[in-house]
Structure 1
Amino acid sequence: MQNRTRTSSGSPFEDQFGFCRAIRIPGHGADRIIVAGTGPIEDDGETTEGGAAEQAERCCALIVKAIENLGGTAADVVRTRMLLTDIDQQAEVGEVHSHFFGAARPAATMMGVAALCRPEWLVEIEAEAVVEH
């Protein structure tokens, strides 16, 4: 577990549930950055206002910030997973995803789920990036 670097987003859940926003794991030739499932949390701990698109934008912004904190960029993203409580919002969330990660064209999964951690959350997103040395 040595040489792993972690970053926090300041989410109250990180301390409460014992996790970090993202972790960079060294590898031969490239490092992996794994970003935890990221909900639409504002700096004050409140949920981002608006619909699925606005919440997805906040999730993606937090993901990119975490990756940048660990020395990567949005262009390094190779995998995303998008969880939606209303799958009918897939076009709106997909458009936001494309804005942030379209140039990288990561392998992506979008799925409908019954619920997320907070009842007002409409979307949660996680990502993985590979940063070459």
Structure 2
Amino acid sequence: MSKENIIDYKEEAALAVAEEKKAKTQPEEGVYIHKFEKPFTYNNNTVTELTFDWDALTGGDYDAIEEELVRKGITLVLPEYTGSFLAHMAVRSCTTRNANGLRFVDREFLRAMPIRDYKALLGKARSFLLRRGSM
């Protein structure tokens, strides 16, 4: 392992500890509304905000996400720090629907989001798990 990789891991670990402390001091938020700076369009769906109801998720959702990722060959050591797990969690908790009442936010929708929005969303999902004392 190179010296650069060791530094990266140390920085990631320090960031994770800081995020966990911050998450535990913030008030509970079972519902998160993500507001975009400018309207975001993907597959003919334009949104200015998305709503995520973390509290609506169940143990069955957790297991289903974990099983799907394992089938794809993704090993989960700490799901709250795994972007794929957090993104799947966000997809399952998104309550925003299109004009026909259909779910349109999927993994590809999230991947197409601007990186700033994507990282903010994953950070909120992570904070929710950490505040709940999971894992």
Settle same-fold status: TM greater than 0.5.
no
With normalisation by structure 1, the TM-score equals: 0.29
| Higher-strand-fraction structure | 1
Q: Which has the larger radius of gyration?
A: 2
Question: Relative contact order (alpha carbons < 8 A, sep ≥ 6): 1 or 2 greater?
Answer: 1
